[in-house]
Amino acid sequence: MIRANWHTHTYRCKHATGDVEDYCREAVLRGLDVLGFSDHAPLPDGRWKNVRMEMTDLAGYCAAVVEARACFPGLDIRSGLECEYVPEFATFYQEVFLGEQGLEYLVGGAHWYPFEGGWAPLYGVPMDGPRLRAYTEYLIRSMTCGLFAFIAHPDLFGNAYPVWDHEAQACSRAMLCAAADLGLPLEINAYGLRKPMLETPDGPRHRYPWLPFWELAAECGASAIISSDAHEPEDVTADMAAAEDIARRFGLTVITDPLAQPARTH
Ligand SMILES: [Zn+2]
Ligand SMILES: [Zn+2]
């Protein structure tokens, strides 16, 4: 069993429950050694604020993580944020999140992607080839920017692009080869295993993890990190064993400490 989860939220993002100490308590009960907090980062212009913390919550969030270390000395508690890669805010992420606030890591998590001059959502709008290619380019830029310790749910596009066709394979290969080249772990996100299944022309499947994507990941030499993406304290290790099974089944290398290996930029 993997005893580290680097993807954890708190009530501050407005679609999770519980605070840092509630997740730590559950983590200890469930035998974790490492618990990383990566709540949804606030953006300086207030963008997408209905699913992320407010800028005014940031200091309290960082303080809650630091305070928890004294209460749970047996648990290695790590501090981070899950961020959309927005190029104009890259310096802000570096200077404020990693600098001023002293956070230890950032997770690159795409829930939108740039398309035709705006941002298209990965939920609610089906993807065609051009959209999938735009997502792919964006995700690769997120990888190469050098800000992120790992990339969350890279296969989330499967939520909007239901069929594993030539386009899906070509785009996946491009993402996976980029990650392998950079030595950047990609997340097998167990939250997808707890969500309602997606009906597709090939039958029902999980929205993510998308199995053929991970099979191809092994072929491309990409490494994986397993996370619960907990949005409720009792989910702090939820479905991680099943996500780990996916990695083992395809022979993927599983990273348990993404901060131990320096991310490389090109
Ligand atoms: Zn979330
Ligand atoms: Zn998340």
Give the distance (Å) from ligand 2 centre to CA of residue 180: 22
- Residues by chain with Cβ below 5 Å of ion ligand 2: 82, 229
Say what the pTM is. 0.96
- pLDDT of the residue at 227: 98
Give the distance (Å) from ligand 2 centre to CA of residue 122: 14
pLDDT top residue among 261 and 104: 104
Give the distance (Å) from ligand 2 centre to CA of residue 16: 10
Ligand minimally distant from the alpha carbon of residue 36:
2
Return the ∠ at Cα 33 (arms to 29 and 36), rounded to 5°. 100
Give the distance (Å) from ligand 2 centre to CA of residue 14: 12
Say if residues 37 and 79 touch (Cβ distance below 8 Å).
Answer: yes
Give the distance (Å) from ligand 2 centre to CA of residue 202: 27
Q: Domains (ranges, CATH) in the chain?
A: 4-254 (3.20.20.140)
DSSP for 36-105, please give it.
Answer: EEEEEPP-TT-TTGGGS--GGGHHHHHHHHHHHHHH-TTSEEEEEEEE---GGGHHHIIIIIIIIT---E
Q: What tens digit of pLDDT does each residue of 41-81 get? A: 999 999 999 999 999 999 999 999 999 999 999 999 999 99
Nearest to 112 by CA among 167, 156, 53: 156
Distance, C-alpha 101 to centroid of its chain:
20
Ligand minimally distant from the alpha carbon of residue 15:
1
